Structure 1
């Protein structure tokens, strides 16, 4: 009988399949390195230090992809559109966000299937944050 062992690929979350917390922290850290040098996106982060935003985003992605629920435990429901509403997110910001995220995703060197799944979500998420014409 071919039994599927607990923890097999079929039972693992995306979070586990791609390397867990370390992978998402690397992704977000690389992304924020790009944001730090981008005047348009940097203006959306009122905190002098990007560290708190980096931590929040890492915890969100970790939770979204099947890791610990620390984000919700600390901050409640994500409410992403509401949290981004104070900022004018236009097409240029959308494109800049995806440009920095593309660099970060590429550095992870995920399998093609994992890369596509992650990228598809990020493209969707970026589009859903646009709240200003132009």
Structure 2
């Protein structure tokens, strides 16, 4: 999705990543594909193991979180307050393997759900910074 700036005739990306990705339905499709891949692809085994028996709650919370983080409605904050990501993830083992599998799984989900390449690259950088900061296993 791109918009035209009528004064210069140049094509500019939408105002927010949320608009650029295609809104709430696109965020939900991305999250669904992300967790489907996690469940189906053995390449994400350790990542899947760190999530417990059911992914239902994780699917909903990630969709709410990403919607707001990308510039859309703040569903997560309205329900749970500040995300406090590091604190909320402390009970889960997050090492280099889990970080790298999360990033690979999200990148695959973005590719498969048609996230525009320029946005995908921007999100990859942001996701890496956050995922690396979330690690709680020293040297792992």
Q: Same fold (TM over 0.5)?
A: yes
Cα displacement string for residues 79-123 of structure 1 (whole angstroms, at most 9, x for unaligned residues): 000011111211111111112111101113233321111211111
**Equivalents in 1 of 2:100, 2:112: separation in Å?**
19
Partner residue in 2 for 1:29? 32
**Equivalents in 2 of 1:34, 1:128: separation in Å?**
23
The answer as to 2:46 corresponding to 1:40 is: yes
Matches for 1:42-121 after TM superposition, within 5 Å? 42-46=48-52, 48-121=53-126
Partner residue in 1 for 2:18? 15
**Structure 1: 5+ residue stretches without partners:** none
Question: Which stretch of structure 1 is more off in the superposition, 25-34 or 55-64?
Answer: 25-34
**Equivalents in 2 of 1:10, 1:35: separation in Å?**
30
**Structure 2: 5+ residue stretches without partners:** 1-5
**Equivalents in 1 of 2:113, 2:79: separation in Å?**
27
CA contact (8 A) 2:33 2:113 kept: no
Q: Which has the higher contact order (CA 8 A, sep 6+)?
A: 1
CA contact (8 A) 1:84 1:129 kept: yes
CA contact (8 A) 1:30 1:104 kept: yes
What is the TM-score normalised by the length of structure 1?
0.85
**Equivalents in 1 of 2:126, 2:116: separation in Å?**
16
The alpha-carbon deviation at position 13 of structure 1 amounts to 1.8
What is the TM-score normalised by the length of structure 2?
0.81
